[in-house]
């Protein structure tokens, strides 16, 4: 057998190392001392100040653009085809991005607008796009969002869709909700919100009828398929009939049966249409559902609650409010589950207590993680939220103020991971929590990374484990405490402290 060396080993060999040295003659790199000098300087307080002064450039930001959130949301309805009016590269990027995270296929349509559409508008692209999509891919619904190109030239989706129907490109009765999703406003979480509101508005029109006794659950821009399965399990345990809006769990976690299904599942359209008749709606994220919840409250006249069940206290609040809304008691099984998870947290708390954390991610996940960390005596220190607004900043500060473990915490809304790099040098922490891109911070600063958030490209299956509810809390603290213990092993490996029992 030949021993095969791929890139992981190959380029460490002397022949390649010599090649790299020879190549420098042509590269003309900076002298090694100069590189070291600058590298050291980037770790200083002075560099941090310079870094925090910038206002016109983002460096390694943790946010994506609106239409990504829109196509994600659109894919959570049965037979729904996400359809993006604009230039085609965007859709290629959304599909790649989502597939890299979920390791699942993701279908979405572009109207492939080019120079002529920039001049004349994208009406013809919309009409032909609708006809081709309907004929080839046979959707039950086409959910339209926009790229920045269509937004800058001012394409009028409402009018275009109407024209497409009149021209017979699609049937008169095919639901075609739409949302304008300019990528120069907000981020992917806002796109999710806009698309969901558009879909619910379109589907609920004229559907008001008898109350159906159900509760609507809106997961938000939640990329943990495990969370969808978990919320279904919990609602079933509670004995509450419910509708998930939008249910992406099958879209991004479908069983392998040797066939490729373009539409593997999602919220059934009749259920989504009937959502207007529910007794109330609970959103599991706040910042990705602001406009949708406002719409539900005002237009549907429903009780609209936002309860993000990450951590014990947040999950307690979720069940208390759910129980109040439905009149159903929390069953013993869930109470026992809580007890088991709290028991686990009691067991693990000594390793988390007093540990300093840096966190980067989307607003709702950050708030949940801060809460959970403080519940175990950990200290959130740097909280970076590139797509956080002033409301998030205020809410996060309030949360920090509510616990003695929040006293060292500082919230950085609108900042990016290059800012965080400075912070990790000037005010080091024990643990970093973030998405896969945050691994550059581990490389540069040595801070161990716990991968929570989106996107997670370089570890498999993490998104299949829930992080909401009591079970989710257990999954999170397992990651937390074992990362801390792995780190402890690494740092004590040559000492007597390399213990077998922790």
Instruction: Quote the least distance from Cβ 30 to another protein, whole Å.
Output: 5
Q: Which of 70, 71, 80, 97 binds another protein (CB under 8 A)?
A: 97
Six-digit token string for 499: 């213990």
Residue 411 Cβ vs another protein, minimum distance, rounded to whole Å: 19
**473 in helix, strand or coil?**
helix
153 binds another protein (CB under 8 A): yes
Do residues 89 and 67 make contact, with C-beta atoms less than 8 angstroms apart? no
In angstroms, the CA 410 to CA 380 distance is 8
Rounded to 5°, angle at Cα 35 from 29 and 36: 150
Between 46 and 407, whose beta carbon lies closer to another protein? 46
For tokens 């740097």, name the residue. 382
Rounded to whole angstroms, how far apart are CA atoms 293 and 282?
Answer: 9
**Interface with another protein includes 397 (CB under 8 A)?**
no
Question: Between residues 302 and 422, which has the closer beta carbon with respect to another protein?
Answer: 422
Count of C-beta atoms within a 10 Å radius of residue 421: 23
Interface residue with another protein, options 92, 159, 333, 401 (CB under 8 A): 92
- The only residue of 46, 136, 346, 401 in contact with another protein, by rule CB under 8 A: 136
Binding of another protein at residue 475 (CB under 8 A)? no
Full strand arrangement of the beta sheet holding 303-306: 242-244, 215-218, 280-283, 303-306
Residue 104 in the binding site for another protein (CB under 8 A): yes
Closer residue to another protein, CB minimum distance, 184 or 206: 184
State the residue for tokens 């896969």. Answer: 436
Write out the two tokens for 121. 């508008």
E-strand spans in 226-315?
Answer: 242-244, 280-283, 303-306
Q: Pick the catalytic residue: 73, 84, 148, 429?
A: 148
Place of tokens 């370089």: 458
Question: Does 259 participate in binding another protein (rule CB under 8 A)?
Answer: yes
Q: Are 369 and 171 in contact (CB under 8 A)?
A: no
Residue 429 designated active-site: no
Under rule CB under 8 A, residue 389 binds another protein? no
Nearest partner of 338 among 309, 316, 360, judged by Cα: 316
Which of 433, 311, 432 minimizes the C-alpha distance to 372?
311
Cα torsion at 282, 287, 290, 293 (round to 10°)? Answer: -10
> Does 14 interact with another protein (rule: CB under 8 A)?
no
Site string for another protein, 206-245 (x = CB under 8 A): ----------------------------------------
User: Of 44, 46, 49, 50, which one interacts with another protein (CB under 8 A)?
Assistant: 50
Q: Does the annotation mark 84 as catalytic?
A: no
Range 175-204, binding another protein (CB under 8 A): 182-185, 187
> Could you say which of 35, 152, 346, 407 is catalytic?
152
Q: Does 67 help bind another protein (rule: CB under 8 A)? A: yes
Q: Is 58 in the site for another protein (CB under 8 A)?
A: yes
108 binds another protein (CB under 8 A): yes
Q: Using CB under 8 A, which of 171, 206, 258, 404 touches another protein? A: 258
Q: Catalytic residue positions?
A: 148, 152
């Amino acid at each position: 057998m030949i021993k095969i060396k791929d890139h992981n080993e190959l380029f460490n060999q002397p022949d390649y190392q010599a090649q790299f040295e020879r190549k420098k003659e042509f590269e003309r790199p900076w002298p090694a001392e100069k590189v070291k000098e600058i590298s050291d300087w980037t770790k200083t307080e002075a560099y941090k100040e310079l870094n925090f002064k910038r206002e016109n450039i983002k460096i390694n930001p943790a946010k994506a653009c609106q239409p990504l959130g829109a196509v994600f949301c659109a894919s959570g309805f049965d037979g729904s085809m996400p359809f993006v009016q604009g230039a085609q590269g965007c859709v290629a990027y959304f599909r790649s991005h989502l597939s890299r995270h979920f390791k699942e296929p993701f279908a979405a349509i572009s109207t492939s607008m080019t120079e002529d559409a920039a001049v004349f508008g994208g009406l013809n692209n919309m009409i032909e796009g609708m006809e081709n999509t309907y004929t080839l891919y046979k959707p039950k619904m086409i959910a339209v969002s926009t790229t920045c190109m269509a937004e800058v030239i001012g394409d009028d989706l409402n009018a275009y869709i109407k024209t497409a129907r009149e021209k017979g490109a699609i049937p008169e009765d095919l639901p075609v909700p739409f949302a304008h999703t300019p990528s120069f406003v907000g981020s992917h979480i806002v796109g999710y919100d806009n698309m969901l509101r558009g879909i619910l508005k379109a589907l609920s029109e004229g559907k008001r009828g008898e109350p159906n006794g159900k509760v609507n659950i809106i997961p938000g821009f939640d990329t943990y398929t495990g969370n969808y399965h978990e919320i279904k399990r919990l609602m079933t345990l509670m004995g509450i009939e419910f509708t998930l809006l939008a249910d992406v769990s099958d879209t991004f976690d479908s069983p392998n049966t040797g066939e490729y299904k373009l539409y593997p599942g999602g919220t059934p359209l009749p259920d989504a249409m009937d959502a207007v008749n529910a007794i109330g709606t609970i959103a599991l994220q706040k910042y990705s559902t602001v406009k949708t919840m406002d719409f539900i409250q005002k237009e549907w006249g429903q009780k609209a609650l936002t309860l993000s069940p990450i951590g014990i206290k947040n999950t307690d609040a979720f069940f208390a409010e759910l129980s109040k809304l439905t009149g159903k008691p929390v069953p013993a099984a869930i109470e026992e589950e809580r007890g088991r998870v709290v028991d686990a947290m009691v067991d693990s708390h000594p390793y988390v207590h007093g540990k300093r954390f840096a966190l980067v991610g989307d607003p709702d996940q950050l708030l949940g993680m801060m809460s959970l960390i403080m519940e175990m005596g950990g200290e959130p220190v740097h909280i970076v939220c590139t797509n956080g607004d002033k409301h998030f900043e205020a809410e996060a500060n309030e949360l920090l103020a509510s616990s003695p473990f929040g006293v060292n915490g500082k919230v950085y809304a609108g900042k990016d991971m290059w800012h965080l790099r400075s912070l990790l040098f000037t005010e080091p922490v024990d643990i970093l929590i973030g998405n896969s891109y945050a691994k550059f911070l581990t490389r540069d600063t040595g801070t161990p990374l716990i991968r929570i958030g989106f996107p997670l490209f370089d570890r498999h299956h993490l998104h299949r484990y829930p992080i909401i509810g009591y079970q989710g809390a257990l999954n999170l603290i397992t990651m937390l405490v074992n990362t801390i213990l792995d780190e402890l092993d690494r740092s004590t490996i040559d000492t007597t402290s390399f213990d077998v029992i922790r």
